[in-house]
Amino acid sequence: MLGNFSYKNATKLYFGDDSLKYLNDEFPKYGKNVQLIYGGGSIKKNGIYDQVVEILKANGKNVIEDAGVMPNPTVEKLLEGIKIARENQVDLLLAVGGGSCCDYAKAVSVSVNCDEDPWEKYYIRFEEPSCEIVPVGCILTMAGTGSEMNAGSVITNHEQKLKIGHVFGEEVMPKFSILNPKFTFSLPKRQMVAGIYDIFNHICEQYFSGEDDNTSDYLAEALMKSVVHSSLIAIENPEDYEARSNIMWTATWALNTLIAKGKTTDWMVHMLGQAAGAYTDATHGMTLSAVSLPYYRYIMPYGIKKFVRFATEVWDVCTDGKTDEQVAEEGLAAMENWMKKIGVAMSLSELGATEDMIDGITEATLILEGGYKVLTKDEVREILKKSL
């Protein structure tokens, strides 16, 4: 039975190769001071920075620079962004980049007017903002996280060796997001495939929960098949517009909260991957790919019906003369073959994790209860060992 829920998504999207022009429709809604958030400077090399600044200035905005957002935004960077926003009394946070820039912008948005330690309030106690929130807009240059149309924000605390995500309420969602698939063309291949796997795993986290046939599962299967199909085209020709646009659009729908409706959802792969990321600072999508198969093979007996469905509906595994366990394993083997084909990390050791980190990563892993099996810390440790 599909569970009870309410649904609202507050983000307005502009999609396509001319979508940047719609900034002219959005900027008049906000005050003069815009904090321009971006990463290491790739947007200056590919020309996106100049295009955005030109539109900002044409709309009479004061541009306040906030560069250097790292792939795993840190508490220190968050405090720096808060300081910039406060000193300049910013009216809009404009993130230009991938999910890290969007996540960081949302963390700044709820923290500018907060009179408490934002790490403790939002990422340790998981409280909601009780202060005024500075609006966020996103211009996406990497497809993967879905951060452009959700209220999630992941921040890393290296001192505490924790990487934690908080999914805020709908008021924290970006007010608008610009999605131009051509802006993703210049991404290095490794970043592209990391994003692709992030998309796929977002869908898996929601799919592998519950036993009933429902619309959310049918949508998830279609999205997974779309990711697989388009990814194989994109790794051969990264500038195939149709493939990259389908990947970008699927990334948004994979995590804009729609397919989670009526589901308990799992998210343990993310908890394992984020804990490993806090120790290795590895690319997010790669930490997910490194732990996925050991985790899914471990929980498969507890959700065998869904794993059989996954094998038959997503990977076209034939069931003739086979046990449910054989069919389910063939599905995971097909998933493994695809992962190797696109070139994601298949082990944590590839990402710099070592045996002596396992106990620390185990302790840093948050245990959630929405999947087919609530893990013990010993089970987490065993899965992590198999992920090495």
**CB-side neighbour CA atoms (13 Å) of 317:** 24
Asked if residue 304 belongs to a domain, the reply is yes
The per-residue pLDDT for 146 is 93
3-class SS of residue 211: coil
Decide: 313 and 330 in contact? Cβ < 8 Å.
Answer: no
* Assigned domain for 96 exists: yes
Last residue of a domain, one of 165, 183, 201: 183
Residues 308, 199 share a domain: yes
Last residue of a domain, one of 156, 183, 210: 183
Q: Let me know whether 43 and 104 are in one domain.
A: yes
**Residues contacting 75, CB < 8 A, separation 6+:** 119, 155, 156, 157, 158, 159
CA neighbor of 283 nearest in space, from 174, 156, 167? 156
Cα 276 to Cα 86, 153, 350, 353: the distances in Å are: 33, 17, 12, 7
Q: How far apart are CA 156 and CA 140, in angstroms?
A: 21
Within-domain flag for 1: no
pLDDT of residue 213: 79
Q: How many angstroms separate the CA atoms of 44 and 186, rounded?
A: 12
**Domain residue limits at 282:** 189-387
* 160, part of any domain: yes
Are 351 and 233 contained in the same domain?
yes
Same domain, 151 and 208: no
Residue 6 falls inside a structural domain:
no
The whole-angstrom separation of Cα 282 and Cα 274 is: 9
Count of domains forming the chain: 2
Domain match, 33 and 123 both: yes
CATH at residue 316: 1.20.1090.10
pLDDT in tens, 280-306: 999 999 999 999 999 999 999 999 999
Looking at the fold, whether 196 and 276 belong to one and the same domain comes out as: yes
State the amino acid at position 300 in one-letter form: M
Other CB atoms within 10 A of residue 131 CB: 13
Same domain? 257 vs 169: no
Whether residue 301 lies inside any domain: the answer is yes
Tell me which residue of 200, 192, 149 sits closest to 173, measured CA to CA: 149
Residues 6+ apart with CB under 8 A from 76: none
Average pLDDT by stretches of 10, the chain with 388 residues:
78 96 97 96 92 97 97 95 98 96 97 96 96 97 94 94 92 97 94 97 96 88 98 97 97 94 94 96 96 98 97 98 98 98 98 97 96 97 98
Residues 231 and 251 in one domain: yes
Look at residues 154, 183, 212 and tell me which one is the last residue of a structural domain: 183
Q: Please check whether residues 152 and 224 belong to one and the same domain.
A: no
pTM of the model: 0.94
Beta bridge partners of 33: 62
pLDDT for position 1: 61
Q: Residue 80: give its domain's CATH number.
A: 3.40.50.1970
Q: Tokens 């036993």: give the residue.
A: 211
Do 160 and 218 share a domain, yes or no? no
Whether residues 176 and 243 share a domain: the answer is: no
First-to-final CA distance of the chain:
38
- Please tell me whether residues 140 and 222 are part of one structural domain: no
The residue assigned the tokens 């001192």 is 159
